[in-house]
Amino acid sequence: MSDAVFLSDVGVISALGAGKDATWRAVSAPTGRGLVRDEVMGQSFWLGRVPRELYVRDLPPEFENRVNAILAVALDEVKSVSDAAIRRYGAERVACLIGSCDNGSETSLEALRARLSAGAFPPGYALAAQRADLPARFARYRTGAFGPAVSFSTACASSASAIASARNMIRAGLCDAAIVGGADIVSAAVALGFASLEAVSPDPCLPFSINRRGISLGEGAAVFVMSRDPLSDATIELLGVGESADASHMTAPHPEGIGAARAMSLALADAGLEPEDVDYVNLHGTGTELNDAMEAKATARVFPRGVPASSTKSLTGHTLGAAGAIELAICWLALSSRNADRNLPVQIWDGIRDPAIPALDIVDAPRSVSRLETCVSNSFAFGGCNVSLAIGRR
């Protein structure tokens, strides 16, 4: 049995729009960011909001929340290929693995307000709406897959962790295919929580700039159909996975990027790649002082000869638990037939480098390359959870 694992299709939605075509147009030749000014409980933020007109509305009551309304868009985009996986392997052999940080915080806050003002929770409110496994159970319901359903909440690496685990489950014979990815929203609890950490930029984020002042939050979803056989013409493989733990600080990364560098190096080794084989890196690139500094050091250490790189969070905002899947989706699109000109995803920033950190080859204007066969996507999270994923066309 081959160890190859294929990413036969992807569905994606973010502040940039819904679907593969809208997403690729927005990141390969951006005309602006997906960020807008929005107010959350009296505080103003730059947020990457998914427009409400894109939500799916036909959700049953037990699954009705904003995370699932956004996740449904991504699931529906891969329906033909997820159906093909179910026909080929059987529904019980197709797993659903979804990463998300939110577990119904909007529902819980609304219920708490009602409880405090009226003395009782609103009719129909149930604690099950806040279960961490709700997105994975919803994915099973929406797709008809009946294999293992698992939710991941490893902070901002959640969906990258889900993708790594799906690969392991397929190779271990626990399933033959997986509908895998992540979804997240900017709830009031999320926005105000990051603001309390003084991690939110008052202006649109500027990854790797000397003027960076923090993150811009975003929301969205992306899901892949991963399988042991190709199920479409898009024969893109998950070539390598690298995971590490800093064990350094609850919220701050290791200042020298030791764990981040290890995750990238493990992904390359797992894929059988040398650093010069990689054509593009999608950086975690949050725009915070500490994350960008350590990631620049780690990337320069792993790729001493340089590599084209960008942070697409400058366009989508930081989509938290969905970020790993959305950014791997952008890498998938770069390798796909939609990108016949071999363009690279673009980062928007002020172009003013921080001289205190290594200079990276930031793709900050439309750029085409002569070779585009392999990409790496980084996700680094609170708790020192680091995941790097390498994909390629073979």
pLDDT in tens, 262-280: 999 999 999 999 999 999 9
Which 3 state secondary structure label does DSSP give 135? helix
pLDDT at 2: 66
CATH fourth-level superfamily of 6-393 = Thiolase/Chalcone synthase (3.40.47.10)
Write the pLDDT tens digit of every residue in 63-114.
Answer: 989 999 999 999 999 999 999 999 999 999 999 999 999 877 777 888 888 8
CA distance 197 to 194: 5
Structure tokens of 5?
Answer: 């694992």
Kindly report, residue by residue over 332-359, the tens digit of the pLDDT: 999 999 999 999 999 999 999 999 999 9
Confidence band of 295 (pLDDT split at 50, 70, 90): very high
pLDDT at 385 over 90: yes
Active site residues: 156, 284, 318
Please give the helix or strand (H or E) that residue 237 lies within, else none: strand 236-245
| C-alpha to C-alpha distance for 172 and 212, rounded to whole angstroms | 43
The pLDDT tens digits for 205-262 are 999 999 999 999 999 999 999 999 999 998 999 999 999 998 887 777 888 999 999 9
Maximal CA-CA distance, the chain: 65
Q: How many Cβ atoms from other residues are within 10 Å of residue 343's Cβ?
A: 20
Confidence (pTM): 0.96
44-67 pLDDT, tens per residue? 999 999 999 999 998 998 898 999
Q: Which residue has the higher pLDDT, 369 or 383?
A: 369
Ordered by start, the domain boundaries in the chain are 6-393
Residue 156 backbone phi and psi in degrees, to 5: -75, 0
Per-residue model confidence (pLDDT) at position 1: 47
